[in-house]
Structure 1
Amino acid sequence: MPNPQAAQDARLRTLVAMPEATWAQVVTPPVRDRLERVAELLGMRHAVPVLDGSFDAVRSELSEAEVLLTGWGCPPITADVLDAAPKLRAVVHAAGTIKTFVDPVVFERGIVVSSAAAANAIPVAEFALAAIVLAGKRAFRHRDWYRTVDRSRPLPGAPVIGNLGTTIGVLGASRIGRLVLERLRGLDVDVLVSDPYLSETEAAAFGATWCDLKTLFAASDIVSLHAPLLPETRGLVSAELLAAMPDGAVLINTARGGLIDQAALERECSAGRIDAVLDVSDPEPLPADSPLLQLPNVFVTPHLAGAMGNEVIRLGEAAVREIERLAAGLELAHGIDREDLDRIA
């Protein structure tokens, strides 16, 4: 006969390492029900997490934790935190990047780490695809024209409108970049991709042609950025690459603002030579006097491509699936290795 008490005792002791506001966003009642079938929740008071700003309030419960369930607002997980958590086996992050709070010592001590970056990639890829389609129609240029000038005809002198046969360049075959490549297969477009970790054969499997960066920028009507911001990629989209873009081309950035030479982008857009769709910027937010906020050929949104609103439910679901795998003795589906830190966002 099954022993319910034994099943309860076998649950992973999981410290909820996120503030109450984050918990309320990412862990819905159905997700919590699933979680509590495989995890005994620590660090909770009156059904909500008590962690806020540091691990001080949950220091005694760290000693029993086998799993840290983290989210936005998790304090840094450093050596002293690990010293207080001798039973810790895993860090499962219900959000994207882990680089802002997971110290490399976590990997050195053999603790496995997972993130919900794959779940967060979905809305970003959807946003990027929508931006690509609208950019092909030059919808952003026409918005102000239609609102303020002559609504009876298209904007005179605008680039050719349409997506049929357009060449789309994808910089970076990251999680998001790969989702964008998959979605572009549904359009009648030619696709180029540039990524040092992607082979020509792998690119072809996505229906794309691998090329170097300069070729990508020179040959694409629309370029969408999906590279991580690393020391070696800061300013990767240089003045030279922007100058190589055809007149009337569109640059879309849903990755990180620091990838682009900001001054060069302002010059090209101010001249009206290229358009830009920017969900991210450098600095972020842009200063109120930035020309990018005023130009009719630049469409700026406040870093909203990633999971927001009901989309964040995916993050909690993804984290719980990982804890379910741990409880079943399986490997993490979205584990991160120490070597990955040098090339992921």
Structure 2
Amino acid sequence: MPNLKVLQVPNAGYDDAIEYLRPGVTLCNARGVHDESTAELAVALALASRRGFARFGAAQREGLWRRSIEPSLTDSRIAVVGHGSIGKTIVCMLQGFSVTVTSFSRRGTDGAYPVSELRGALGDFDVVILVLPLTAESTGMVDAGFLAAMRDGAVLVNVARGPVVDTDALVRELESGRLRAGLDVTDPEPLPEGHPLWSAPNCIITPHVGGNTSAFAPRMRALISQQLARLIRGEDVANVVARG
């Protein structure tokens, strides 16, 4: 496509599109399209993980009426790692709960703390929600040391990208019973049959469906229409994330 000027991807993440950029092409993501849907799932995974849905689901499959006292989301301290549009929407949704939320971002602006301060504060949080972009800096950020610094019984929610987390290190923590996890993304992805994450205790997995809801199609159509209108008027397109 020699006349291609703008590449519009339907995702908030764009790491897999960078390699296709050539000189003169502008890459735009779908910031805003997936905000509410992905935030819904992040909050749902946090709530389900805290309330022990993984255990109750396993008991249901066995036909067992197995009651237990589980942690509550109420009065939890939550770290939201990533302060883009989805991260901010997660914070907004969490305002409906009796929780304390702290945001972290790479730059530490707009009310967020620098992500460089996160590791030293991990022991303060009951839930850590990952919603940051996949970059060279964020790849493998959640390693064995990061997980070890989380408080006992804490929940890791990942709606960002799988490679942000060291999967082997997470499996070890889950199998020890010390941490819980709610994962919409994994590394590898899709998760192969027989992978230990499938059977890890206290782990809820959804197949990368954060933005895969009924809200997607109408919002994506609206964004494309707006982008085309900008081009026709000779204006700059929105949501520019890279230029070739």
* TM-score for both structures, normalised by structure 2: 0.86
Q: Structure 1 residues 163 and 310, CA, compared in 2 at 3 Å: closer, same or farther?
A: closer
SS of the residue 2:139 aligns to: coil
Counterparts of 2:28 and 2:144, CA distance in 1:
37
Q: Deviations over 1:1-30 (max 9, x none)?
A: xxxxxxxxxxxxxxxxxxxxxxxxxxxxxx
Which structure 2 segments of 5+ residues have no match?
none
| Structure 1 residue aligned with 2:108 | 198
Q: Deviations over 1:172-194 (max 9, x none)?
A: 21332122122222221011222
Q: Deviations over 1:222-242 (max 9, x none)?
A: 111111112221110010110
Q: Aligned residue pairs: how many?
A: 241
CA RMSD across the alignment: 2.5
1:93 aligns with 2:8: yes
* TM-score for both structures, normalised by structure 1: 0.63
Choose from 194, 200, 209 the match for 1:295: 200
Q: What amino acid is the match of 2:111?
A: E
Choose from 177, 188, 191 the match for 1:286: 191
Counterparts of 2:54 and 2:193, CA distance in 1:
20
Larger Rg, first or second structure (1 or 2): 1
Q: What amino acid is the match of 1:303?
A: H
CA positional deviation for 1:94? 5.1
- Counterparts in 2 of 1:223-234, with a 5 A limit? 223-234=128-139
| Identical positions, percent | 31
1:119 aligns with 2:24: no
Whether the 8 Å contact between 2:15 and 2:134 is mirrored in structure 1 is no
- Counterparts in 2 of 1:325-336, with a 5 A limit? 325-336=230-241
Q: What amino acid is the match of 2:81?
A: L
> Following TM superposition, where does structure 1 have runs of at least 4 consecutive aligned residues deviating by more than 6 angstroms?
none
| Structure 1 residue aligned with 2:44 | 130
Q: What amino acid is the match of 2:183?
A: L
Whether the 8 Å contact between 1:262 and 1:282 is mirrored in structure 2 is yes
SS of the residue 1:127 aligns to: helix
Which structure 1 segments of 5+ residues have no match?
1-80, 204-208
Q: Deviations over 1:33-92 (max 9, x none)?
A: xxxxxxxxxxxxxxxxxxxxxxxxxxxxxxxxxxxxxxxxxxxxxxxx4xx32xx6x415
1:180 aligns with 2:90: yes
- Counterparts in 2 of 1:190-339, with a 5 A limit? 190-199=100-109, 202-203=111-112, 212-308=117-213, 311-338=216-243
Whether the 8 Å contact between 2:78 and 2:101 is mirrored in structure 1 is yes
